[in-house]
Amino acid sequence: MSDMLWETSVLLDAMQARPMGPVPEGITGISIDTRTISPGDAFFAIKGERFDGHDFLTAAQRAGAGLVVVAEQKLPALGRVQAPMLVVDDVLAALVRLAEAARARSRAKIVAVTGSVGKTTTKEALRHGLGAVGSVHASAASFNNHWGVPLSLARLPAETSYAVFEIGMNHPGEIRPLVGLVRPHVAIVTLIAPAHLGHFRDLDEIAEAKAEIFEGVVPGGTAILNADDERCGLLAEYARKAGITEIATFGEAAGADFRLIAFEATREGANVDAEISGEPLRLALATPGRHMAQNVLAVLGTAARIGADVGKVAAALAGWHAVKGRGARHSLALGDGGAATLIDDSYNANPASMRAALDVLSRAKPGESGRRIAVLGDMLELGTHSAELHAGLKDEVLAAGVDIVFLAGEEMKALDDVLSGVVACQWHETNDELVADLERTMRGGDVVLVKASKSIGFSPLVETLLSRHEDRTQESTSRDTQAAAAQTTSGAAR
């Protein structure tokens, strides 16, 4: 079997499974969702909060699953399933055991990323940058929880140069078992911020929970921390307590090992001057935002610490773009013959990421007669601090030079109250009302930022806008990437 991920004999041993009937020689991939199965994959029938994978075995077979992994206790209710089966005590526990086997066989340099904001962006930048110097495996989407991390690790091919895993948490104790599986050579903490504050007493408690990532770092490994984070020192203490002696920092602060020297926003992205372990480096980024440049510093510092060619990684990052829902840009054709720029940051939101997104909007250059428009929805899981933190966005909105603000969500009423009479601001009962109002308002040259926590439903709002307006992004992105790459190539060695 070509591109075999696992031999079935190894699966049986690793997962403590038993076969039912003839089974294939091996599998080409692993899926827990019948909508993403490729022929030859193994389908793991995990039981989640809303769905039980055992109810979708027929769909998995139709999709081409090479075999299915099922729980022993479910066998009496399965009926006639024709796909080859591996039977285990518990499907998720078996996946965890397979993840352990994947880590044991891997010779890759492994990086784990956590933090209140920037985890997925940093992970994707690592995927892109390290791809210039070797084969890379990384978590899909935001697979950073109790099933996402084992799934991502179990999918790790044996012959891979670098592997990158995102690790998240909502409560204390969630990171510890996951990083125990990953056992990274480098652990990055992007930033401590009031995300999930409703589950913690304060930011120090969040820092303590994030610091669990240090407990899994292999001997001789490195912790990389944000020098501009007020809790950098606290995190360093936790890292040392976990036995880590190699601690490096990134940011603008004097003394940072991977330091941002100068940042210039451009229409295509940004020009960045940095020092990586004392060596000067100039690069152009196709992805705008000072916070994106900070993430890139962590990426370049990681490359330096794991022995990758920093120059090649930097050159590759010139062509890296923010992913869907995390700063991706689109050009929307409007009825007046002009176009508006849409900044899609709809995947998630907390006070720190809101400030970063509004800073990106402030640096955007509207076209002639264009305006800066902020479309903002609720930031969730802020507990008793919610009203204060929502109202506290007022200063960032005003500092960003926002001309019009559209709001939705019950929590955003607090911001509406303090912006009323200060800047053009409208709160909406529903997302549909907001979209209709926004479409009536947009004109050529406008720059529109869309930002909210995921469950507020602003991602469908973005999809609605894209479906109704021709997206001109592909052509402009190609030009921007070529220009950025050329600039990086000419300025990387200084």
The pLDDT-based confidence of 209 (bands split at 50, 70, 90) is: very high
Q: Is the pLDDT reported for residue 448 higher than 90?
A: yes
3-state helix vs strand vs coil in the chain, percent to 5: 40, 20, 35
Q: Is the pLDDT reported for residue 1 higher than 90?
A: no
Averaged confidence pLDDT in the chain: 90
Q: What pTM value is reported for the model?
A: 0.82
E strands in 203-285: 222-226, 246-251, 258-265, 270-276, 279-285
Residue whose C-alpha is closest to residue 130's, from 170, 95, 92, 165: 165
Q: How far, in Å, CA of 78 to CA of 80, rounded? A: 6
Structure tokens that stand for 271 in this block: 């020009």
Q: Is the pLDDT reported for residue 484 higher than 60?
A: no
Residue for token pair 């799934």: 151
pLDDT at 4: 93
User: Average pLDDT of 191-211?
Assistant: 86
User: Average pLDDT of 95-103?
Assistant: 98
The pLDDT-based confidence of 478 (bands split at 50, 70, 90) is: very low
Q: How far, in Å, CA of 389 to CA of 412, rounded? A: 10
User: Average pLDDT of 34-47?
Assistant: 94
Q: Cα–Cα distances in Å, from 208 out to 150, 248, 253, 386?
A: 23, 18, 22, 22
Q: How far, in Å, CA of 298 to CA of 256, rounded? A: 11
pLDDT at 2: 56
Beta carbons within 8 Å of 485's beta carbon, 6+ residues apart: 284, 315, 318, 319
E strands in 94-135: 109-114
Contact 258, 275 (CB under 8 A): yes
The pLDDT-based confidence of 468 (bands split at 50, 70, 90) is: very high
Structure tokens that stand for 12 in this block: 């049986």
User: Average pLDDT of 48-65?
Assistant: 92
Q: How far, in Å, CA of 135 to CA of 51, rounded? A: 34
pLDDT in tens, 379-396: 988 888 899 999 999 999
Q: What is the CA radius of gyration of the chain?
A: 24
User: Average pLDDT of 431-456?
Assistant: 94
Q: How far, in Å, CA of 230 to CA of 242, rounded? A: 20
The pLDDT-based confidence of 489 (bands split at 50, 70, 90) is: very low
Higher pLDDT, 471 or 129: 129
Q: Is the pLDDT reported for residue 230 higher than 50?
A: yes
The pLDDT-based confidence of 473 (bands split at 50, 70, 90) is: low
Q: Does residue 162 come out as left (phi exceeding 0), alpha (psi in the -120 to 50 range) or beta? A: beta
- The helix (run of H) or strand (run of E) holding residue 94 is helix 91-105
Higher pLDDT, 342 or 77: 342
User: Average pLDDT of 191-207?
Assistant: 84
User: Average pLDDT of 232-259?
Assistant: 97
The one-letter code for the residue type at 324 is: K
Contact 20, 69 (CB under 8 A): no
Q: Is the pLDDT reported for residue 348 higher than 90?
A: no
β-strand pairing of 328-333 with 109-114: unpaired
Q: Is the pLDDT reported for residue 189 higher than 70?
A: yes
Contact 347, 325 (CB under 8 A): yes
Domains in the chain (CATH in brackets) are: 6-91 (3.40.1390.10), 106-317 (3.40.1190.10), 335-468 (3.90.190.20)
User: Average pLDDT of 155-170?
Assistant: 96
